[in-house]
Structure formats: structure tokens, C-alpha cells
Structure 1
Amino acid sequence: MQIQILLLLPMAFLLPPGAQAGKIIGGQVAKPHSRPYMAYLKRKTCEGEATCGGFLVREDFVLTAAHCADGDITVLLGAHNVHQDEETQQRVSVQRKIPHPRYNKTSHENDLMLLQLAEPAELTDAISTIPLPQAGRTVDPGSVCSVAGWGKTKRHAMRTSSKLHEVELEVMSDETCQEDRLLQHYYKPPKMMCVGDPAEDKASFSGDSGGPLVCDRTAQGIVSLGKSDGSPPRVFTKVSAYIPWIKKTMRGSQRPRVPR
């Protein structure tokens, strides 16, 4: 019984990643449209409206977190202020949600999902794709990467931010998360990244869920889970571990060409 309690106890301190709108902690407002791959996901669920982030990896595909699958999703591309009608914005419905077939809601493993858009995005200066890493490629601990999202900028704020915020975060060693008493039961090095220096008050949070961790202009991670108080480190899905699945899934969803 003691073992069971110890295994279950951390759940009380882990925030279910999609449960609330999230925030960038310790960051700043991003330069408008400086991250043209960013996608804002507006979800209508039985509990109301919720948001997630995502990123455009092909004209007709957005990559995000699997825990963002609940509800009817509308994708907003080319946005800086999501509460304004900007000329750069394109609003697209989702044709198909494709969560990873081995996504586990309890362990948070394989927390990624492809969204096939109902129609391809029109690429512009404000809307473009972001490269994915090579399969199996890892990011060295100590590397400084960045993450962005729309959401609360203070832990106890009542409302999410209308403008895109960004923050630079350090990639930590696997041991940093493996030795964290609240994360150690969930952290799987082959499939996850440990991000955010525990000594700094900078982090992503739920609702930033699904957004990309960008290292050298490449999407290396996906915001996945962390502790309910918003403190670093946080756990990101390691994109390079899933490149074969991502490519195979998108190839299998090629749109038929219309004969001329």
C-alpha cells in the first residue's frame, strides 16, 4: 500500500496539461509575427472553452500535444493578438485529429498529435512552417532554446494574454527531471526532454501545451506537463523520437491531386 501511495501522490502536484489556459512565466511579448509557425488552438469542450498551442509543420498539418484533443478545435494562424481581427490571420477548421496511437493519459507518454487542416494554409510572411529535427537527434544539456504561447503571464492571473509571449529556457540533463520527486515517475528520457533551470523563474505552463520548443530554428520539443505551481523544470515531448511516425502519418494523408 505504501508503494501505491507513493506512486499516486505526485499526481496531486502535477497539473493536467490541458486543464487550464496556460502561461509563459518570466518571459516577454514576442515581436509580432516573428514566429510565423505558431498556431493558436481554440477548443470548445463540454466544460467550456480552452486553448492550446501548436505549430505548422506542413501547409495542411499542425503538430501539437495529444492532451489537447478534447473538443472541437479551430486553428488560428498568423496571429499575434488573438483577440483582434488582424489582416494576417487565417482561421481554419480541423478535418482530422490524429493523436499518437500509444498516447497514455495516465503516464503522459507519447503526448503528441497531428491536426490535419480542412484546407491548406496560404503561406505568407506571417504564416510559414517550421523544420523538424532529424530522427534520433538530441539537444545537448545547456543549450538555450525558446518557447512561446498565449496565456497567463502571472501564476494567479485570471485571464490569458491576448498577445504572444516568449521565453528562453535552458535544456537540462535527464537527471534533473529523474531526480525531481514529483516528475521522476513520469519522465522517460528516450521520449521526453527536461527543460527549464530550477534556479530561474522562467517556464512554460499548461495551455502553452502543444507549443514548440525551438532550438536553432528547429522544433525539438512539445510542451507537455509539469508541476502545478508552474516551477521548472518542465517536461517536453521529444520530437526527434517521433519523426518516422510524423512523416508516415502525413504521407498517408496526402490530398488527392485534381487532374487538369
Structure 2
Amino acid sequence: MNLFPPPGEIIGGREAKPHSRPYMAYLNIRREDKSVRCGGFLVSENFVLTAAHCNGEDITVLLGAHNVSRDEETQQRVSVQRKIPHPRYNSRSRENDLMLLQLVEPANLTDAVDTIPLPQAGQAVEPGYTCSVAGWGRTSLKTKTNVLHEVELEVMSNKTCQNRRHYRPMMMMCVGDPNQDKASFLGDSGGPLVCDEVAHGIVSFGKKNGSPPRVFTRVSTYIPWIETKMRGLSSPGPHVERLGPLH
């Protein structure tokens, strides 16, 4: 069983306006002798939300970044104090694919670093609605980028994903028109699906060839768990690093 699947990619999108998505977090994840990247999003000064399959031995969060290969004045590099994957996460089916990251110290909120609201518990996005996703993944199967890209995607009916073996409508969202090649991979794993400036989904999984639709974790299902964990955890420690970009 592969406990740490590869992250997704943005293909068919465009470069985002620098710092227009101040909630975006770039995750540098260490697994044994290699590093991988994921996305995430700031939901409070102390917490980043991402996918549970983005776990690893050590995670560093970069906030306020546009080009993660450059030393931008807006960037804040923050260590993770505590990783809290959902206790019922299933790495095979991707059920409950979400994880909270408690930061060592609260982020310093600025024009380039800010939180994004979460939906109300049980709130759904109707099929046909256009949302967006962003990430630092590949822009083609062979082309890497260190600049944030974004793409608009349509929320599909659950029926569109019913042929997916592990699709669970109560905990997942079906996103991306199968008749469009606009975005074959939707975004870095763990990044948010943003609808009306609210984070309704988390990039989770899809077909290996990247064809839409893709499957996102449905955030509204997990609001009670998220809020309970954030309230219950102790305040962060005293240290934050401002070390420049990740490479």
C-alpha cells in the first residue's frame, strides 16, 4: 500500500496574480531521503488545513509566497508543531482525506498572508457552480513551476463520479467537467477548492492520467471535527523562522 501518493498538478490554468490568494500555503514535506510538495490553506493564525495523504516525517509551511524559489519579502516560513490527520483517514480509499497542521507560532497576518473562511457544517455547493483551485504543481506532465497557478472548475453532480470505486458523496465532491481539457490535474494535493471565497474542498485524488472529474474532500462534512480540534489544542510555542524560500 502506498501511504504517500504523489501530489496533483495544475494543468491548463494560468499564473495567479501575485499574492491574490493570501491563504495559500506551500508545504515542503520530508519523507525518508526525499522531499515532496503539497498545498494547504491557512484557516486560522495557528492552523493550516491540507490533505491527510500529504503527511510525512517533517513538514515546513511557507506562507505569503508567489514564487517559492525566490526570497520574497512577503514570505513566512513556519515550522509545524503538531500534525493532526483525521483519525479515520483511509490511505487506500482516500476517505476522510484531511489533516490539520498546528503551527509553532501564529502566522503574522499581512496583505500577503491571511486566512480563508470555511463553510458551515453540512453546507453544499450545487452542481454547475464554478469554483477555483490553485497550486504550485506541474503545468504539464513534463514542465515544473515554482510560481502559483490557478484554474476555474465546475462542480459536478455526484452521479458524474459514481463509477469511481471509492467515491463517497457525503465526504467527497466531484469537480471538473469530463468534456473539457481545461485542467487535467486540478491542483497540488491539499490545496483548497474555493467557491465564493470559501474553502469548500481539498484536492484529494483522481484518475492517474489526470482527466477530470477529480475528487475533493468535502470540507463541510468535517467542520465539527475541525473546530473541536482547533479549540482543544494548546496554544503554540514561542518560535517561528523567517528563513526565506524553500527550494
TM-score normalised by length of structure 2? 0.92
Report how far residue 151 of structure 1 moved.
1.4
1:227 is paired with a residue of what secondary structure?
coil
Which residue is equivalent to 2:194? 214
Matches within 5 A, 1:117-156: 117-156=103-142
Paired residue type of 2:217: T
Contact residue 135 and residue 244 of structure 1 kept, 8 A: yes
Q: Which amino acid aligns with 1:202?
A: K
1:169 maps to 2:153: yes
Match of 1:225? 205
Contact 1:172/1:194 (<8 A) preserved: yes
- Do the aligned partners of 2:81 and 2:104 also contact (CA within 8 Å) in 1? yes
Q: CA deviation at 1:46?
A: 1.1
Does structure 2 retain, via aligned residues, the 8 Å contact 1:22–1:150? no
Q: Secondary structure at the match of 2:132?
A: strand
Q: For residue 37 of structure 1, what is the aligned residue in structure 2?
A: 23
5+ residue gaps, structure 1, are 1-10
| 2:228 paired residue number | 248
Distance in 1 separating the partners of 2:184 and 2:218? 15
User: Shift of the alpha carbon at 1:204?
Assistant: 6.5
Structure 1 residue 25, shift from structure 2 partner: 1.2
Unaligned runs of 5+ in 2: 239-247
In 1, Cα distance between equivalents of 2:175 and 2:133: 10
Distance change >3 Å, CA 17–CA 123, structure 1 → 2: farther
Within-5 A mapping of 1:4-153: 18-153=4-139
Residue 172 of structure 2: which of 192, 199, 202 is its match? 192
| Greater share of helix | 1
SS at match of 1:98: strand
**Helix, strand or coil: the match of 1:221?**
strand
Q: Is the 8 A contact 1:155 1:230 kept in 2?
A: no
Across the aligned residues of Structure 1 and Structure 2, the Cα RMSD in angstroms comes to 2.0
Query: Any idea what the Cα deviations from partners look like across 1:2-36, whole Å, max 9, x if unmatched?
Result: xxxxxxxxx9xxxx795335320110000000000
Q: 1:201, CA displacement in angstroms?
A: 1.2
Q: Is the 8 A contact 1:194 1:233 kept in 2?
A: yes
CA distance in structure 2 between the partners assigned to 1:93 and 1:241 by the alignment: 28
Task: State the SS of the aligned residue for 2:206.
Answer: strand
One-letter identity of the residue aligned with 1:87: E
2:105–2:237 Cα contact (<8 Å) kept: no
Instruction: Give the distance between the partners of 2:162 and 2:237, measured in 1 at CA.
Output: 48
Change (3 A) 1:93 1:178: same
Q: Is the CA contact (8 Å cut-off) linking 1:213 and 1:220 kept in structure 2?
A: yes
Matched pairs, number: 238
Distance 1:204 1:247, change over 3 A: farther
Residues 206 and 44 (structure 1 numbering): CA distance in 2 closer, same or farther, change over 3 Å?
farther
AA aligned to 1:239 is V
Amino acid corresponding to residue 235 of structure 1 in structure 2: V
Aligned residue in 1 for 2:245: none
Larger Rg: 1
1:82–1:256 CA distance, 2 compared to 1 (3 A): closer
Q: In structure 2, what residue type is equivalent to 1:177?
A: C
